[in-house]
Amino acid sequence: MSEKACGCGCDGNRAAQFADLAPTLEKYAKVPGSLITILQKAQDIYGYLSPDAINYISEQTGIKPAKIYGVATFYAQFRLEPIGKYLIMLCKGTACHVNGADMIEEAISEHLNIADGETTEDGLFTLNNVACLGCCSLAPVMMVRSSEGDETYGNLTKDRVREVLDEIRKNAEVTA
């Protein structure tokens, strides 16, 4: 696109901006019922769904941005804000609740100074409460997702969760 038609504040060259999404769009853009799959891929690549991304997907699929926004806000998985390098998914399932997940949330919030849905200032951690990770016998549980993969931590205590977070931070500093 040479001329800027979107008025969204981008530099106009969206095909280049979203080049990583091209194979997905090529495969799914015209397949009915594929919106969620496309959004999942976009989030995988960019970490969240930006207004630019939503507009671009709209152009490519012919689905109205309002509808995409409606779908994106309906499902718990989709995020409209960028996230930290490490996504902490704290399980708030029943077994975790009974075994003190609220206490663990408090410990994380205090230790990182963020609440559910927020990201630390250094952009390292985002805290997200999730419904159930299915590791109920190890409650309370959290999963930490990053480019290195998913790591699950069970039988958490306030002390243990602080240790884990410090360890992750230390490793991140070493690699950086």
Partner 1 sequence: MRVVVGQGSCGVATGARKTAAEFEKQIADKGLGIDVTVTGCVGTCYLEPIVDVYEDNGDMTRYVKVQPENVEKIVDEHLAGGKKVEEQAIDDIDKEFVTKQERIVLRNCGIINPENIDEYIAVDGYKAIEKALTMKPEEVIEEMKASGLRGRGGAGFPTWFKWNAAKASPGNEKYLVCNADEGDPGAFMDRSVLEGDPHSLLEGMIIGGYAMGASEGIIYCRAEYPLAIKRLEIAMEQAREKGFLGKNIFDSGFDFDIRIKAGAGAFVCGEETALIASLEGERGMPRLKPPFPAAKGYWQKPTDINNVETLANVPWIIYNGGAAFAKYGTEKSPGTKVFALAGKIKKGGLVEVPMGMTIRDVIFGIGGGIKNDREFKAVQMGGPSGGCVPADLADTPVTYEDITKTGAIVGSGGMIVMDEDTCMVDMARYFLNFTRDESCGKCNYCRIGTKRMLEILERITEGKGEDGDIEKLEELAIKIKEGSLCGLGQTAPNPVLTTIKYFRNEYEDHIYNKTCTAKSCKALIQYKITDTCKGCTLCARNCPVDAIEGNVKELHKIDQDKCIKCGKCMDHCKFDAIIKE
Binding residues for partner 1, per CB under 8 A? 32-37, 39-40, 70-71, 74-78, 89, 92-95, 97-99, 103, 106, 130-139, 141, 150, 152-155, 158
- Shorter beta-carbon distance to partner 1: residue 8 or 138: 138
- Shorter beta-carbon distance to partner 1: residue 123 or 134: 134
Q: How far is the CB of 162 from partner 1 (least distance, A)?
A: 12
Q: How far is the CB of 118 from partner 1 (least distance, A)?
A: 18
Chain centroid offset of residue 129 CA = 11
- Shorter beta-carbon distance to partner 1: residue 17 or 99: 99
- Shorter beta-carbon distance to partner 1: residue 124 or 141: 141
Q: Are 96 and 141 in contact (CB under 8 A)?
A: yes
**Cα dihedral 45, 76, 37, 55 sign:** negative
- Shorter beta-carbon distance to partner 1: residue 23 or 70: 70
Q: How far is the CB of 121 from partner 1 (least distance, A)?
A: 21
Q: How far is the CB of 23 from partner 1 (least distance, A)?
A: 17
Q: How far is the CB of 85 from partner 1 (least distance, A)?
A: 18
